[in-house]
Structure 1
Amino acid sequence: MSDPRGDLCMIHTPLVVWIADYPEQLLITCTASKCSLISLAVSAQFGDPFPHSPQTTCTISNPCDIPLFYKTFELYWMDWDDAYALYQWHNFFFDHLITWSINIMGGAELNHQLSALQPWVGVHHWVNGHQDLEKLLSALIVGTVPNDVACALCAITEFIFQAQNLFLYEETLHSLTEALHEFYHHKASIITAGGCHGKNELMQHVTQSTCVMGAPYQWSSDITKHCHITHVKRPYHMTNHKDFYGQCCRFLDRQENYNSSSSTQF
């Protein structure tokens, strides 16, 4: 990297976070399929209403016991004290809560409830896509799903909103824990009503992880996902799809020079 004087310096930055999907996380941590990445729970225990012991470098498979392919490499995380996985709450809401609601009340009824909302003149609705639905779902489902189901969905929605706070204090963590307890208290009603057919386990470790690593919001992938749109997808659609890497680099270089000259003139 170039310093303020123009001298080139070799920089070695520490790895702080690795964004990966579930199959990649299994590879990175050498964890068996259908096992938790952050606890000692297996798939049959994912629905338990309590957190299992955390997964650490001491409990993850020893490199000596891994197949020969892994023996060839030194696992970079072996000197880390803890191993945790991060989760995207917006995706969780869309993949699970909305699916549960549709399974119970029907997609047509949910659309009807949305169409009945009073429009605000001059306000751009659904600016953030399905993230805006998080603020409305609790009100939309009341009266169209059993009361226990509504209590469960409201509780988990409260948990998701609280977990996204910039700062989590003792009171916030207590509120998170209580919301999660309420969700598990009414969780059976979702299954009975035919809404939920799967299991989830990562929510149990938010409080514990926050005490060790800070608020989950700092690990959000929203910024990198947005950069993927502005720095990869948009430039790609502007090219002829040939020699994309070269065209993309030239596009970003010109865009950076343009922004730099515009700020200088300002």
Structure 2
Amino acid sequence: VWHKCVDIVTAGLKRVAEIGTMMPDPHGYRRYCFTPLVAWTADLPEQLMIACVSKSASPVTEATHKQFGDSHSHSSRTGDLTLQRIEQVARGTHPWNNLSRFQREAKTIQLSGVHLPFWRNWPFADPSIFLLPEILHTCHKFFFDHVLSWCRELLEDDLDARFKCHHKRVAVRHFAGGVSHIKQMTGREHRDIQRTIVPMIAGCVPPRFLRAIRAIISFIYQAQSPIHTDTSVKEMESSLQEFHAHKDAIIEANARKTRSAGTKNDFHIPKLELFHSFAAAIRNNSGLIQYTADVSERLLITHCKRPFERTNKNKD
């Protein structure tokens, strides 16, 4: 249903992408323009929905669940490849004849069961290109869900003690109550903890564990640069490779745990796999910071959540 709705809404853009139209530029001159789909800001679940793949696969590469922790990148999951696989399933079981069977067979090859993606007839549209890494959810949320969790597991109360005794300084947030008790944070708090997490754990963790954390923090900061060069992109990739080279220290320290499965010996983390696509995305679309969801998430609060609080709370 979602793809059908977007298909209808973007019909005009698809037509202009194919034949072009006259548009005024900022100076008032008319230009002959086209509207290809260049970038789409979305978090991971939305990217999976747009790319028409299941949760056990990457939306932009051919990697599947057990490959999410690999230290190398996988081949791109191009739009043509996805459309070919959808057509392959449809030849055996057409969705209009047996939808449930079509969806079951689609899921066996990491498809979500969508028959007609909205981008199928959008000239030059390719999910592996226009689905860009999103800094807020991919980096900062990854830090809170995983990196900070690893540090908590290893240091326990010592981490809070270090944050509490941190000297107050202008422009640096002081967590007087520690950080372990916070169940839900905003992107601002994620950033504040990232700024000091490396010195906070230094001296209390194994050297290779510290090096892995420092490397992934460096990667997150480098990915947010508004301007990139070939050298800066290579340095960013080097930081990611350094993390992969030392990530086994996190498992050795028994810091990789989940509530449901307990201690884990793998890094099958979807967002970790997405980090491999950062370099290509930067080369294609320049700095990723311009596509962050910070603005839209803030507008969601000011234009949706707060006005809703002034209503009778009736969602219908």
Say if 1:30 and 1:61, in contact at 8 Å, map to a contact too.
no
How high is the TM-score relative to the length of structure 2?
Answer: 0.66
- For 2:246 and 2:193, the matched residues in 1 are separated by 22
Distance change in 2, residues 1:217/1:241 (3 Å): same
Match of 1:213 among 280, 285, 296: 285
Q: How far, CA to CA, are the matches of 1:141 and 1:194 in structure 2? A: 16
Kept after mapping to 2: 8 A contact 1:56/1:81:
no
Q: How does 1:230-249 map to 2 (within 5 A)?
A: 230-242=302-314
Once the two structures are superposed, what CA deviation does each residue of 1:106-155 show, in whole Å capped at 9, x if it has no partner?
Answer: 1x211101001012379765793232011000110101111100000001
Do residues 137 (structure 1) and 186 (structure 2) align? Answer: no
Conserved? CA contact 2:72–2:276, under 8 Å? yes
Instruction: Work out whether residues 19 and 221 of structure 1, in 8 Å CA contact, stay in contact via their aligned partners in 2.
Output: yes
Matched residue, 2:233: 173
Compared with structure 1, are the counterparts of its residues 21 and 166 closer, same or farther at alpha carbon in structure 2 (3 Å cutoff)?
A: closer
Q: % of aligned pairs identical? A: 29
In structure 2, what is the equivalent of residue 93 of structure 1? Answer: 143
**Distance in 1 separating the partners of 2:193 and 2:254:** 22
Partner of 1:3: none
Q: What residue is the counterpart of 1:82 in the other structure? A: 126
Q: CA deviation at 1:58?
A: 2.1
Deviations 1:62-115 (A, max 9, x none): 3423561644x4632454353234233111111111011111111x21110100
Contact 1:31 1:61 in 2 (8 A): no
1:114 to 163, 174, 181: 163
CA RMSD of aligned residues (A): 2.8
1:54 match: 76
Which of 194, 197, 214 is the equivalent residue of 1:154?
Answer: 214
Bigger relative contact order, structure 1 or 2, given CA contacts below 8 A and separation 6+? Answer: 2
In the other structure, the counterpart of 1:25 is: 47
Give 2:104's aligned residue: none
* Residues 39 and 52 in structure 1, CA contact (< 8 A), matched pair in contact too: yes
Deviates more, 1:115-124 or 1:28-37: 115-124
1:37 is matched with which residue: 37, 59, 69?
59
3-state SS, counterpart of residue 82 of structure 2: coil
Residue among 196, 201, 226 paired with 2:298 = 226
Equivalence for 2:102: none
> For structure 2, which runs of at least 5 residues remain unmatched after alignment?
1-33, 100-113, 176-185, 257-263
Unaligned runs of 5+ in 1: 1-11, 245-266
Q: Deviation at 1:18? A: 3.9
1:104 alignment partner in structure 2: 154
Tell me if structure 2 keeps the 8 A contact 1:177–1:207: yes
Q: Which residue of 1 aligns with 2:23?
A: none
Name the CA distance, whole Å, in 1 between partners of 2:56 and 2:189. Answer: 31
